[in-house]
Structure 1
Amino acid sequence: MPSPPGGFEVPLWRAVAVFRFAALAYVGLLILRDADRYAHPVVAGVVLLVMLGWTVTTAYGYARPALRGWPLLLADLAVVLGVLLVGPWAQGRGALAAGVPILAVVWLAGPVLAWAVSGGRRRGVVAALLVGGADLATRDRIGQSTLTGTILLLLAGVVVGHVARLAATAEQRLHRAVELEAATRERERLARDIHDSVLQVLALVQRRGAHLDGEAGELARLAGEQEAALRALIAGAPPPGPAPEDGTGTLDLRALLARYASATVSLSTPATAVPLPAPVARELAAATGAALENVARHAAGRAWVLVEDEGETVTVSVRDEGPGIPAGRLDEAARQGRLGVAQSIRGRVADLGGAVSITSTPDVGTEVELTVPRAAR
């Protein structure tokens, strides 16, 4: 996948251009040194000028994203293959047999690097095989040094292609992170505006009309529901509704608990998912619902739910501002056969291998803390 202009691939294209000019300078030095041993030194000079012109052309073309397409890539490969085919005739078989380097030398690696940067490892390997095969086909005798050169081309294609793909992937992730940061800042700005206006008005309507009858009471109830929905929206909470499994047998606890959020129940969850095995998530959500039922029955329904993901364990805290639980009341209720807390809350959490902590202060409120391990016992 191509990188946008100014992306992380730009330094790679510049490095390819620098490599080609440096390789061309090395070729020029070898031609000056060995020209008297060539069969057609003038032809070798013309080939050097062609290589210079093509190096300038590719440096210009690859520097512009619109030109980094197949026409330039194929032309680049064709020029290098042409230089490989003309080289033996310009130098002469005798000079090559005497150990004179081929005319292109390391310059022939240019299209391999270009293909690798443009398309990753696969393109780099294809170009290396084509260039290496053409080099081997022009040789009268294939030695260890020739094979080594072809292997180095393959390695260059693989390594440079891999680095190019990593750069493209890193750039995409960076763009995504920037977009998310911009969206988060915009949501925070909207949240401040909404909190200073809409939420305060809805909360005022809900408080003033909570004890009224008829249409006024219904209006207050609707205002409370809309306040809770808006708070969940600007906080980025998951929408209420069924929580489907993600294909690995886990559920996001946030989605299960979102159904309990209302005008009287405030839900605070982590920004990221809280995945739990499906049975654990359902039982923990059910225990939380049982705790909220007790709040609705004994503490006027106003409650705060906090979810904490602690790695190996997950804790859900339910706090209210009710009258509190008198000392010994829970044990007395259990003896009387009223097993709501004992079975619906403690029983469920105990079956999961977790623990329940209930802290209550008269006239202050009660906090129920449910802690379960990530995997059920």
Structure 2
Amino acid sequence: MSVELPLWRALTGYRVLTLGYALALFGFNYEEYAHPLGGALYMGVLTLWMALTWNRVSSPERCTKRFLAADLTIALAGVLLTTLVDSPARIDGGAATLPSIWTGGAVLGCAIKGGWRWAAVGSTLVALANLVERGSPARDTVHNVLLVWVSSIAIGYIVEVARASERTLARALQIEAATRERERLARDIHDGVLQVLAMVQRRGTALGGEAAELGRMAGEQEIALRTLVAGGLLPARSGTPERYAEDAELAGLAVPTGPAGPVPAPRPPEGPCDVAALLAPHAGPDVSFAGPGTAVLLEAAAAAELAAAVGAALDNVRKHAGDGARAWILLEDEPDAVIVTVRDDGPGIPDGRLADAEREGRMGVALSIRGRLRDLGGSAELLSVPGQGTEVELRVPRGSETGR
């Protein structure tokens, strides 16, 4: 809902209530007017105008400039007409004008529609009309004029600030949505395209011949794509195939594998999904999996993202823990969350290495693990002691959905 929409609704109510007040005030003092029929004619016109336009100030689209000009004209006409239908004694005594405080609605409409500048113009015109009606700048008249002038300009300024804040918030939300989409695409690229390109580069270099040239081209594209994903922080390098191999070794990750070969990305069905069924294919000679004896259910999208984060953690184990390193996956089913712990017995991660890897364009932990869990409303805690391995705890709250 727009921040100014409540102001338009309040203005609609103000106009209706102040019309009732003006009619009651006129009826109460009817006999005291010098020409009560003229006043009654104006009040009839004002009532008809309100009956036809009461909802014109319910939204900025309906409240047009032409309507505001007509509304303000009717208010000014009522103020000036008071000098003709009321007695000089009552006017000098400070009697209310025919439209009374209904006039403020016209000024407030200008303030909400056009900001403090329109409010200044409208309140100035009302102030001049009131001074003409009184014939002299009496103390109470000056007091009322200043009150309307200051309050309308203040409201107009507040409306302008509210609109600017709303635009800023909308822009921030757009940037946040674009950033989340960029991270999602980066995770997909990281888990698929980048790993395949890195594998082609390594296999091509090992085979030699034409395959080496194909591997060199794959390495070039892998580095350029990783640079794009990382936001341009890692410049692409050019030169010999050995330099491409060096860059690919710095940036690439292995394709997830199990005891029977590559583990395809799971495609869970719609509705609740058993997380254990998605994690079980990772088990093998070097990876142990343990979980409850019953199904651990999550929404399909959340379960798929959790399984992908586990796969990314295992990729890092295979890549960085060295040959012969073992990994353990522990699945826990808590009342309010699903927890998956991935632990290895590798050399651990040196202090500051994750920050350096992110600057180099290696987004395995930043996007494929932490980014996924953040989008699910969960958390990814990483504990690593040099020489004692690494432990990653992934926590997904119940009811999580991708993109939340």
Q: TM-score range by the shorter chain?
A: 0.5 to 0.7
Which residue of structure 1 lines up, in the alignment, with residue 355 of structure 2? 306
CA distance in structure 1 between the aligned counterparts of 2:84 and 2:234, rounded to whole angstroms: 74
| Mapping for residues 24-43 of structure 1, pairs under 5 Å | 24-43=19-38
CA distance in structure 1 between the aligned counterparts of 2:235 and 2:115, rounded to whole angstroms: 43
| Mapping for residues 1-377 of structure 1, pairs under 5 Å | 6-211=1-206, 215-237=210-232, 263-265=248-250, 306=355
Structure-1-length-normalised TM-score: 0.59
The answer as to whether partners of 2:120 and 2:149 remain within 8 angstroms in 1 is: yes
Residue 237 of structure 1: how far off its partner (Å)? 4.7
User: CA offsets per residue over residues 299-337 of structure 1, 9 Å max, x none?
Assistant: xxxx978369xxxxxxx99x9xxxxxxxxxxxxxxxxxx
Mean CA deviation greater in 147-156 or 177-186: 177-186
The answer as to whether partners of 1:9 and 1:167 remain within 8 angstroms in 2 is: yes
In the superposition, relative to structure 1, how do residues 189 and 96 fare at CA in structure 2: closer, same or farther (>3 Å)?
same
Runs of 4+ residues over 6 Å off in structure 1:
none
Letter matched to residue 57 of structure 2: Y
For structure 1, list consecutive stretches of 5 or more residues without a partner in the other structure.
1-5, 242-260, 268-302, 309-315, 320-360, 363-377
In the superposition, relative to structure 1, how do residues 239 and 112 fare at CA in structure 2: closer, same or farther (>3 Å)?
farther
Letter matched to residue 186 of structure 2: A
Structure 2 SS opposite 1:142: coil
CA distance in structure 2 between the aligned counterparts of 1:70 and 1:163, rounded to whole angstroms: 20
The answer as to whether partners of 1:265 and 1:304 remain within 8 angstroms in 2 is: no
Mean CA deviation greater in 44-53 or 110-119: 44-53
In the superposition, relative to structure 1, how do residues 199 and 104 fare at CA in structure 2: closer, same or farther (>3 Å)?
same
The answer as to whether partners of 2:78 and 2:97 remain within 8 angstroms in 1 is: no
Residue 31 of structure 1: how far off its partner (Å)? 1.2
The answer as to whether partners of 1:73 and 1:115 remain within 8 angstroms in 2 is: yes
CA distance in structure 1 between the aligned counterparts of 2:184 and 2:230, rounded to whole angstroms: 12
For structure 2, list consecutive stretches of 5 or more residues without a partner in the other structure.
237-245, 253-351, 363-385, 388-404
Residue 122 of structure 1: how far off its partner (Å)? 1.1
In the superposition, relative to structure 1, how do residues 80 and 181 fare at CA in structure 2: closer, same or farther (>3 Å)?
same
Question: In percent, how many aligned pairs have the same letter?
Answer: 38
Mean CA deviation greater in 66-75 or 124-133: 66-75
Structure-2-length-normalised TM-score: 0.56
CA distance in structure 2 between the aligned counterparts of 1:102 and 1:114, rounded to whole angstroms: 20
CA distance in structure 2 between the aligned counterparts of 1:264 and 1:147, rounded to whole angstroms: 81
The answer as to whether partners of 1:266 and 1:304 remain within 8 angstroms in 2 is: no
Residue 262 of structure 1: how far off its partner (Å)? 5.0
